[in-house]
A and B are shown apart, each in its own frame.
Chain A
C-alpha cells in the first residue's frame, strides 16, 4: 500500500493549492519590503493590509487589532509574557488550566521560575471541561490574566469560552485564549466571547507553516516581545512574511467559507469512525467530551497496549496518527491532558488521536478500522497487562 492515509490534521495540514497559488507572486515577483517607500514595495504593503483585514473580519475585529507572528507558539508566548510585564504593577497572578498546550504551560512555568509569577493551573472534569465557576473562584485581587484554550488539541474538548470571558470581563481581568485548534473550525467572534487576546496558527487550516497571529483588543496594554523595527504598529518587529501572511488570509477565508459544510461532513465521518471503533474493538474508551468536541477529533484509549507500538504499526500500513504515550512525548510521562482528565498512566499510554481533514474519506476510515483491529489484537496478544486481565477473569 503506497497511499498515505493522513489522520493527523491537528498536528498540521496540507497546504491547499489555491493557498500556494496566492503566495507564489510574493516570493520573486512582488518581493519588496512592505516598509520601503518605492512602488515595488507597494504591492507587498497592500497585500499585508488586505490580509489583515480579511482575518480581522472573520473574528469581528478591527484590522489594527491583528498582529502577525512567526507561529502560534510565539503568539501564546507574547500574550502571556507581554501582558505579565505590562500589568505587573497591578499583580502577578495568572489563571490557566492543566490541559493547555505547552506553548502556554511552559511560558507560565517560565514566568513562575524567572519572574516570580503566581500561576493557578485549574483542574478539568473527566471530559476535559474547565468549570467557569472555578475560574471565578480562583480570581484574587492580584489576578492580571486568565488564559484558557478555545479547544483542546489532544482530546478536542471545546471550552465554555464565552462564560469564562464574561467572568474575566466582570472582574476587569484580561482574557487570552489559545485558539490554534479552533480558528477556522468554529465560528469565533471576539466581542461575543469577551476575548481580549487570541492566538492562532496558519498551518492548522491548510495554510503555510511559520505563520501565526495574535489578536489584541484595542486598549489592551502589552509589552513587545520581539524588539527591532516599527513593523506591526511597533509592537512586533521583523520584516513581514508577506507570502506567509497572504497564504494565511487565503487559508482563513477558505476555511470560514467552507466551515458549515466541511465541519458537518467531518463530524459525520468522525462519528462513523468513533462508532465503528467503539463497537468493533473491545476495551476502548473515548477521551474528551462526546458533544462539545472539535468536529474532526477522535481520541481513544486502547487498553493494555502502548501508543508508540501502535503508531509504528499503523505507519507501516501507511496510516499517520498520533498518541499521548510517553514514548511520543520525549519523556517518561504520558500526555498531561490525559492525566488531567483522570486516566491512569497505563491507559493514557495507550491513547490514539486521529484528526480528520477535508480530504478524509469513508473508505479510508474503513481501511483504518480494519488495520487497527488486527494491530490491537496482535499487540494485546503480547501484552502482560492483557494476560493478567484475562487470567483474573476479565475484571
Chain B
C-alpha cells in the first residue's frame, strides 16, 4: 500500500529526536485520531533552519511524512520553508494512499506550528503564516454512508 520511499522513511526515519532550547517547537494532531506530530526547529540569526528534528505518534505514513518534511525544510530559510506544502511532502514520497493524505497535512501543520512558535518568541511576523489549528481534522468531511 505504501511507496518504496514511504517505506524507506518509515524504516529509517531521518531526524528523529529533540532539540534542546529549540528556536521553535510545534505539536499538532490529537490522540483521538491516532496521530501526533512534534517538530523542533533550530533557526540561526539569518533565519535559516539550521537543524530540524521530529517525534511522531502515528501510522507508517505519519512517520514517513514527518521524516520527509524535516528533510525538506532543513537548510532552508523560513520563507522557503513556508513553501513546503503537504503536496510537496507527498510528491517527495512518491505519493500516499488517499486515506493517508491527512498525514501530509499534519506534517505541513507541524512545520507551521513550529514556525509560529519561533515567530512568537522573537516577536516577528512571517508572511503567509497563520496561527496553527489545534485539531487538523476539524472540518474534514464525514465518510459517506453506505446504505
Interface residues of A (CB under 8 A from B): 110, 113-114, 304-309, 312, 316, 325-327, 330-332, 334, 344-346, 349, 381-387
Contact = CB atoms under 8 A, between A and B. Distances in A.
Nearest to B55: A384
Interface of B: 10-11, 13, 16, 18, 27, 31-38, 54-60, 62-63, 99, 137, 143, 147
Most A-side CB within 10 Å, residue of B54, B58, B63: B58
Nearest to B58: A306
Contacts, number: 74
B34 A344 contact: no
16 contacts: A306-B58, A306-B62, A309-B59, A309-B63, A312-B60, A327-B34, A331-B143, A332-B34, A345-B34, A346-B57, A382-B16, A383-B55, A384-B27, A384-B36, A384-B37, A385-B36
A346 B32 CA distance: 6
A325 B37 CA distance: 17
A18 to B, nearest CB: 35
B123 to A, nearest CB: 27
B57 A326 contact: no
A332 B101 CA distance: 12
A325 B57 contact: no
Nearest to B33: A332
A346 B31 contact: yes
B18 A387 contact: yes
Interface residues of B, dominant DSSP: mixed
Contacts of A385: 31, 36, 57
Contacts of B54: 382
Given A309-B63, A332-B34, A346-B32, 7 more contacts: A327-B59, A330-B99, A345-B32, A382-B63, A383-B56, A383-B57, A384-B36
Given A306-B57, A327-B59, A382 B13 contact: yes
Nearest to B32: A345
B147 A110 contact: yes
B63 to A, nearest CB: 6
Contact of A381 (B11, B16, B27, B33): B16
A326 B11 contact: no
Closest 5 CB pairs of A and B: A346-B31, A308-B59, A327-B59, A384-B38, A384-B55
Contacts of B11: 316
Contacts of A386: 57
Given A309-B58, A326-B34, A385-B31, A332 B16 contact: no
A327 B102 CA distance: 12
A330 B11 CA distance: 22
A384 B56 contact: yes
A258 B63 CA distance: 45
Contacts of B33: 326, 332, 345
* Most A-side CB within 10 Å, residue of B27, B32, B57: B57
A323 B122 CA distance: 44
B117 to A, nearest CB: 14
A306 B10 CA distance: 13
A314 B140 CA distance: 31
Contacts of A326: 33-34
A306 B37 contact: no
A304 B10 contact: no
Contacts of B16: 381-382
A332 B33 CA distance: 5
